[in-house]
Amino acid sequence: MTASAKSKRTILRMVLAMAIAPAVPILALALAYWKGTGDARWIPIFFVLGYLFFLVLGVPVTAMLMKTRRLLNCTLSGGVVTIAPIVLLSLMSMSSSTRGFSGETWLNYLLLTLAGCLGGALFWLIAFARSTAPLLKQKKPPATPASR
């Protein structure tokens, strides 16, 4: 395979990862809202806003992940990118609310963060798993006479 074809495949994997992985936490949030309210009209709005927030927060994080390409980094970054906009919006509206954060709110945030971590792991699987496979299958160095 030529370098140009390899580069095109890498770009295609990145584009696919950036299109598919954010859908996991967005879908989790949309389904949770639908389950809680019974109103499905907001689901497309969740997807539009979710991908907008991904463009603002996720794309710069993706650029940083290009250097490390580690599963743990992608997983944690997915969780942070997912929950950051919601926490920021909650903090901005907290001054007008006397309710604050309840135990149920923290649980919902934790579940959404876990969905974001799952999305980050999916991102790694699509974008980087094939390119880091040689790193995972490193051969042991041959035994030296001193170690025998």
Q: Indicate left, alpha or beta for 100 from its phi (over 0: left) and psi (-120 to 50: alpha).
A: left
How would residue 139 be classed by pLDDT, with cut points 50, 70 and 90? low
pLDDT at 64: 85
Round the average pLDDT of the chain to a whole number and report it.
82
- Give the pair of three-digit tokens for residue 91: 């903090």
pTM of the model: 0.75
Q: pLDDT digit string (tens) for 28-78?
A: 889 988 988 998 898 899 999 999 989 998 889 888 887 888 899 999 999
Q: What is the percent of the chain where pLDDT is above 70?
A: 82
Say if residue 14's pLDDT is above 80: yes
Number of H helices, E strands in the chain: 7, 0
